[in-house]
Amino acid sequence: MLLDRTGRKPDLWTRGQPDDHAPVLVAWEEWNTQARLGNDPDRLGVEIPNTLAIEDLRPVLSQVGLVAIRFGAFSDGRGLSQARLIRRAGFTGVLRAVGPLIPDEFGFALQCGFDEVELPESSAHRQSEDEWLRSLAAYSHTYQQGYRSRTSILAQRRLARLSKGQSHA
C-alpha cells in the first residue's frame, strides 16, 4: 500500500533496471552512474538502505526524481535523520519511506521531509487507510521548529508576543 498525506495512491514506479516506459526505482546496490546518464530524472528513482551516508548519495540527487529509504523496522529511526539530510542537500523530488512503518510515525516521517510511505502487505492488511490519515490529526501543534510543520508552538507563541507588542505600541 502506498500512502501520502491525502490517502492511498497508485504506485507508478516499478523496481528494476531502466527502460523506456515506466518510471523505475533502482536499488542503491545496483546503482551504476554510467548507466544513469541521459535518463530523465522524472522517471528514475533510487532506493537506499538506512545505513547509507547521505554524503555518498549527494552526487545522485540531481539525477533522480524519487529517493526511497528502506526502513528495516518501524522502530529504527535512522531513515528519519537521512530524510532530513537529503532535504537539506536541496533535494526537491519525492521522498518515500519503504517498510513496516506504523501509523503513529506517519506524521513524524512527513515532518522530517518524506512525502509518502510504502507499506508491505503484512502491515497493510492490518492497518487501514483511515487509521493512517487519522494519525496525522493526533497533534494539532508541535514543539519543534525547523521541521515541516506549519503549527510550531514556539512560532505561535512568538506571533502572539509580536501582536501583543504591536497592540501595546
Partner 1 sequence: MYRYDEFDAGFVRERVALFRDQVQRRIDGSLTEDEFKPLRLKNGVYLQLHAYMLRVAIPYGTLSSVQLRQLALIGERYDRGYGHLTTRQNIQFNWPKLRDVPDILDLLADVEMHCIQTSGNCIRNVTADHFAGVAADEWIDPRPVCELIRQWSTAHPEFSYLPRKFKIAVTGASHDRAVVKAHDIGLRIVRHPDTGAHGFEVSVGGGLGRTPMIGKVIRDFLPQEELLAYLEAVMRVYNLEGRRDNKYKARIKILVHETGTEALKARIEHEFAQLDGPSINADPEELARIAAYFAPPHYEELPAVSARLEAAKSANPVFADWIDTNGFAHKVAGYRAITISLKGIGEIPGDITSAQMRQVADLADRYSLSEIRVSHNQNLILPNVKNDDLFALWQGLVEAGLATANVGLITDIIACPGLDYCALATARSIPIAQAIAKRFADPARQREIGPLNLNISGCINACGHHHVGQIGILGLEKRGQESYQITLGGDPTEQAAIGEIVGPGLTAEAVPDAIERLVEVYLEARQVGETFIDTFRRIGIGPFKLAFQHNLEGADHVA
DSSP conformational letter for 95: E
Taking CB under 8 A as the rule, does residue 164 contact partner 1? no
DSSP conformational letter for 92: -
Beta strands 24-27 and 44-49: pairing type? parallel
Taking residues 62 to 101 in sequence order and writing x for each that binds partner 1 by CB under 8 A, - otherwise, the string is ------------xxxxx-xxx-x---x-------------
Taking CB under 8 A as the rule, does residue 58 contact partner 1? no
Taking CB under 8 A as the rule, does residue 147 contact partner 1? yes
Q: Can you name the residues that pair with 158 across neighbouring β-strands? A: none
Q: Which one, 144 or 163, has the nearer CB to partner 1? A: 144
- Among residues 30, 40, 56, 104, which is the contact residue for partner 1, using CB under 8 A? 104
**Residues 23, 44 contacting (CB under 8 angstroms):** yes
**Residues 44, 15 contacting (CB under 8 angstroms):** no
- Measured CA to CA, the distance from residue 2 to residue 25 in angstroms comes to 14
Q: Which residues bind partner 1 (CB under 8 A)?
A: 74-78, 80-82, 84, 88, 102, 104-105, 107-109, 111-112, 126-128, 131, 134, 138-147, 149, 153-154, 156-158, 161
